[in-house]
């Protein structure tokens, strides 16, 4: 009996550190994928500052960051606490999955596949969360490949979808991915209708411009002191989305205009003068676009297309019920965080947090508590709403 308890305890410790090790790899994904870098080359992690390739004895999850006091061993530059946080958090989430879904540790075939699939799911949620927080995007390497992984996982372990047969799990996974995509896309479109435009006027003309400092990065729209990412304006690629700028003076390449209205679309631009004359430009041929403005009409989204794809991945892994639960939970969490930041005088911080982390939190809540909460709620409804 004592031997069994010792082995069981060692197994729990082992899986926590396996999770921390996966967290170390997720740090590589979080840093490299949004920057278009390979996660395989170079094979070893490197310091973001001096590019020193870190030897294995300086890359032990959790311990290395603590022993090196959060600094590079080569150039002594500070390494973000995010690296330690991701390793700790991943270890804890892997352990939480094990704690909740492991049966008899000696019968690995019964609980092993489910736990492994949920570990993959948690890894994708964690990577997506930290990438979205830092870069305000959810890359296809997470969402699309994650959706494929979710379908394969549901074929292997159909219980992820609440089913028994492999083909049922696969079909339900595809259907749930469609529900995730379609459901959140509907929310986005309804949000666009309700809150799709923001008008700003200025008492005196402000400078505005569109620049592209790096040809590999999307343009940036600057209005006064505010900078707006192109993807925030046209991320959904709708041909009807437009940025309207009332411009007393304007320069397009070497041509100057006065008292015009500029309409910027995804790929084109229209310049309309007071007499109604319209001149059209293809944005690929525009190298300089600057002027002054007395007012702008900004298109805005309830959330980005990456969130829609993220929800598709969540549905592929854990089913359509999880999709509904996740959207509902994420909305509540977003409201609570927004309210808390307003009460604490940090409303600006709350508005800068993208929606992806809320979706990830809602999906994780479903994994651990969702089915029980849903069963409880339905039981109350069946009894006539006696809560």
**pLDDT digits (tens), the chain, 387 positions:** 566 667 767 777 888 999 999 999 999 999 999 888 888 888 888 888 888 888 888 889 999 999 998 998 889 889 899 999 999 999 999 999 998 998 766 667 778 899 999 999 999 999 999 999 988 889 999 999 999 999 999 999 999 999 999 999 999 999 999 999 998 888 877 776 766 678 889 989 999 999 987 777 778 999 988 888 887 788 777 788 899 999 999 999 999 999 999 999 989 999 999 888 999 999 989 999 999 999 999 887 767 788 999 999 999 999 999 999 999 999 899 888 888 877 876 655 555 578 899 999 999 999 999 989 888 877 776 666 555
Alpha-carbon gap, residue 226 to 152, rounded angstroms = 44
How much is the pLDDT for 14?
A: 86
Residue that is last in its domain, among 299, 321, 346? 299
**Do residue 178 and residue 326 come from a single domain?**
yes
Residue that is last in its domain, among 257, 281, 299? 299
Domain extent at residue 236: 197-299
**Do residue 185 and residue 203 come from a single domain?**
no
How much is the pLDDT for 345?
A: 67
In a domain, 20, yes or no: yes
Residue 42 has phi, psi (to 5 degrees) of: -70, 155
**Do residue 283 and residue 337 come from a single domain?**
no
Alpha-carbon gap, residue 131 to 125, rounded angstroms = 10
Tokens of 221: 């729209």
**Do residue 212 and residue 168 come from a single domain?**
no
**Do residue 211 and residue 292 come from a single domain?**
yes
Residue that is last in its domain, among 260, 282, 299? 299
In a domain, 267, yes or no: yes
Q: What is the pTM of this model?
A: 0.82
Give me the numbers of helices (H) and strands (E) for the chain, helices first please.
Answer: 11, 8
**Do residue 325 and residue 341 come from a single domain?**
yes
In a domain, 115, yes or no: no
In a domain, 48, yes or no: yes
In a domain, 289, yes or no: yes
Nearest Cα residue to 26 out of 82, 68, 66, 73 = 82
Alpha-carbon gap, residue 149 to 132, rounded angstroms = 20
Q: Looking at the chain, how many residues does it have?
A: 387
In a domain, 7, yes or no: yes
**Do residue 295 and residue 218 come from a single domain?**
yes
Tokens of 308: 């829609």
**Do residue 73 and residue 101 come from a single domain?**
yes
How much is the pLDDT for 350?
A: 52
**Do residue 289 and residue 330 come from a single domain?**
no
Alpha-carbon gap, residue 94 to 22, rounded angstroms = 9
In a domain, 119, yes or no: no
Q: Are 161 and 319 in contact (CB under 8 A)?
A: yes
**Do residue 69 and residue 92 come from a single domain?**
yes
Alpha-carbon gap, residue 362 to 324, rounded angstroms = 10
**Do residue 185 and residue 325 come from a single domain?**
yes
In a domain, 124, yes or no: no
Nearest Cα residue to 260 out of 251, 67, 213, 190 = 251
Q: Are 235 and 304 in contact (CB under 8 A)?
A: yes
How many folded domains does the chain comprise? 3
**Do residue 295 and residue 219 come from a single domain?**
yes
């Amino acid at each position: 009996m004592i031997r069994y308890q010792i082995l069981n305890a060692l197994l729990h410790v082992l899986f926590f550190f396996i999770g921390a090790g996966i967290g170390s790899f997720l740090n590589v994904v979080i840093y490299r994928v949004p920057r278009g870098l390979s996660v395989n080359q170079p094979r070893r992690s490197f310091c973001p500052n001096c590019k020193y390739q870190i030897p294995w004895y300086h890359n032990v999850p959790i311990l290395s960051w603590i022993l090196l006091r959060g600094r590079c061993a080569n150039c002594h530059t500070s390494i973000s606490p995010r690296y330690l946080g991701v390793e700790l958090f991943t270890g804890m989430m892997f352990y939480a999955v094990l704690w909740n879904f492991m049966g008899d540790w000696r019968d690995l075939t019964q609980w092993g596949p489910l736990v492994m699939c949920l570990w993959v799911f948690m890894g994708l949620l964690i990577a997506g969360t930290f990438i979205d927080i830092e870069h305000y995007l959810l890359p296809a390497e997470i969402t699309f490949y994650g959706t494929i992984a979710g379908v394969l996982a549901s074929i292997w372990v159909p219980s992820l979808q609440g089913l028994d047969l492999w083909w049922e799990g696969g079909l339900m996974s595809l259907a749930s991915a469609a529900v995730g995509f379609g459901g959140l896309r509907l929310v986005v479109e309804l949000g666009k209708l309700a809150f799709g435009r923001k008008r700003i006027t200025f008492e005196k003309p402000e400078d505005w411009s569109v620049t592209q400092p790096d040809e590999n990065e999307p343009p940036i729209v600057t209005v006064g002191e505010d900078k707006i990412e192109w993807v925030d304006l046209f991320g959904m690629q709708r041909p009807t989305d437009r940025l309207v700028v009332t411009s007393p003076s304007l320069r397009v390449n070497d041509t100057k205009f006065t008292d015009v209205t500029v309409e910027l679309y995804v790929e084109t631009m229209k310049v309309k003068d007071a007499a109604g004359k319209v001149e059209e430009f293809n944005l690929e041929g525009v190298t300089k676009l600057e002027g002054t403005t007395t007012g702008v009409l900004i298109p805005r989204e309830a959330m980005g297309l990456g969130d829609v794809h993220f929800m598709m991945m969540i549905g592929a892994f854990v089913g359509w019920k999880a999709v509904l639960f996740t959207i509902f939970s994420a909305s509540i969490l977003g409201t609570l965080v927004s309210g808390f930041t307003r009460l604490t005088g940090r409303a600006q911080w709350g508005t800068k947090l993208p929606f992806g982390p809320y979706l990830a939190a809602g999906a994780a809540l479903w994994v651990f508590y969702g089915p029980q909460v849903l069963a409880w709620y339905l039981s109350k409804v069946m009894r006539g709403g006696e809560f």
